[in-house]
Chain A
Amino acid sequence: MDYLEIANSRPMYLVTLFILALLMAQAVIFFRMAMKRAKELKIEKQVIYKAVKASAITTIVPSIAIIIGLISLSPILGIPVSWARLGMAGSMMYELTVAAIGAQAMGTELGGAMYSPQAFANSVWLMTLGVTPGFVLAVLFLRKYKSGIKKAVSKDTTFQTLILTTILVSVQMNFIAPAVIGGGNALNAVVIAAVVMALLTVCMVKLKWSWLKEYALSISMITAVGAIVLMQI
């Protein structure tokens, strides 16, 4: 039996749907908990609506990128495994790296002619077990770590903002600096999105178009991607 037949079989889909149901249930329960807490904190309904709308809009474009990841991964790992790994608990880079290591450890290549059912099983085991430390850290240490940070910076809000911004920009630099140095389409994407965002920010501040806040990030991303598509034609 070809491993892809197994990979795309009904039982595999059922397990994936079960995992998906757990994930959705958790998100809904946390949402409702936060909603209840918001009432206690007297946060207005309008504010909640605004936040939900802003989050939903911002999520759409990068989620489409996941579908593209799915398109490239599913011929190799089958739809259920690609779906469960890309859309839940993981990300494209991580899953590809680990799946490839799994194949290599079995003396073959991911998606290559020699990629056997056993090699496929190895990729799946490793992708699943590879994230264990992330879960262990969150379950055992998240509370301690977060209260530690709170204690360290809570007395001084200016310092708190400084540290949070520093962390955020550091993460952004991980993606921006290689693009700027490497040039090409990645650099174009950074520059176009940054310029569009800057223009939109001017509109928000000078023209007081505060409604733009929810759309600015998505508009910047779409413009950059669209411009690069046009450059290819």
Chain B
Amino acid sequence: MNKNKSYEDSVYRLGRVSAIIFFLATLMLPAMLWFKWGLLPTKEGFIAGISVIAVIIIPILIGEFLSYAPIVGAAGYFVMLLSGNWMNIKIPASIVALEATELDSNSEEGDVISTMAVATSAIVTEVIIIAGVLLLTPFSSFFEQPAIKTGFEQIVPALFGALYIATLVKNPKAAVVPTIVGFAIVVSQVVNSLFFIPVIIAISVLIATIIYKIGNRKQTIEEPSNE
């Protein structure tokens, strides 16, 4: 238990320090434009842009934080924070690694394996992108063929179609509520598509919790000996 606490402490310490250093480093790109070439946006343009972004991006980022923090360990979360591409790469990589090792994501072992999976995934992605940058010219002509381009544009729906089946097989009952809620929200368009994820999660978790609690109560009434 004690060792677990110190592991957790060092995860958060490293996570926070690395996040701050990394964020400051990313500022070097626009800062370089400013210091080396004197390139700055106009004050009006910058203020107009930042206000639009604040309105759109802040709620999205809060939604992402609330949605993704529960499904990946703290260390994995900090790796994702720096390397990006959460839902299309890092989380699937972590899910598949946990599946392959038959570990539970809620266990300590699962948390450690998930961290290694996310870190591995981050490194592999960057290596592939480096190769991509070096070979950009030949790659461009291949991937710019209309048929190839159209195919790869569908990689995200393909990924989630397959992941959905994998989740469904493991836990079919739990998939029912979010599936229905998901379709209802998307069809009704009650919120802007940018907010689909947090809204679907909030409603689904609420309904699932209510159903679970009612079911539990019934069970304890029917089988009082189990109490």
Contacts and interface: CB of A to CB of B under 8 A. Distances in A.
B39 A214 contact: no
B213 to A, nearest CB: 9
A178 B201 CA distance: 16
Contact of A33 (B40, B64, B75, B201): B75
B153 A167 contact: no
Interface in A158-200: 159-181, 185-194, 196-198
Given A16-B29, A22-B21, A55-B94, A138 B81 contact: yes
A87 B129 contact: yes
A166 B205 contact: yes
Interface residues of B, number: 149
B26 A133 contact: no
Nearest to B100: A54
A229 B94 CA distance: 28
Contacts of A62: 85, 88-89, 92, 155, 159
A213 B65 CA distance: 29
| Dominant secondary structure at the A interface | helix
Nearest to B122: A27
B217 interface: no
B29 A160 contact: no
Interface in B20-75: 20-23, 25-30, 32-34, 36-37, 39-42, 45-46, 48-50, 52-53, 56-58, 61-62, 64-71, 74-75
B179 interface: yes
Contacts of B81: 89, 134-135, 138
A43 interface: yes
B166 A30 contact: no
Interface of A: 1, 3, 6, 11-12, 15-16, 18-20, 22-24, 26-31, 33-35, 37-38, 40-41, 43, 47-48, 50-68, 70-71, 74, 79-81, 83-84, 86-91, 94, 97-98, 101-102, 104-107, 117-122, 124-126, 128-135, 137-139, 141-143, 145-146, 149, 157, 159-181, 185-194, 196-198, 201, 213-214, 216-217, 220-221, 224-226, 228-230, 232-233
Given A55-B121, A189-B157, 10 more contacts: A6-B39, A34-B119, A56-B124, A87-B84, A125-B41, A162-B212, A166-B174, A170-B204, A190-B157, A201-B165
Interface of B: 3, 7, 10-12, 14-16, 18-23, 25-30, 32-34, 36-37, 39-42, 45-46, 48-50, 52-53, 56-58, 61-62, 64-71, 74-75, 77-79, 81-89, 91-101, 103, 105-106, 108-109, 112-113, 115-126, 128-130, 132-133, 136, 139-140, 143-144, 146-167, 169-171, 174-175, 177-179, 181-183, 185-187, 193, 196-197, 200-201, 204-205, 208-209, 212
26 contacts: A11-B36, A16-B29, A22-B82, A26-B78, A27-B119, A40-B7, A63-B124, A91-B88, A107-B45, A122-B41, A122-B46, A138-B77, A142-B12, A146-B74, A164-B71, A169-B204, A172-B167, A173-B196, A174-B196, A177-B185, A181-B186, A193-B157, A217-B166, A224-B161, A224-B162, A225-B154
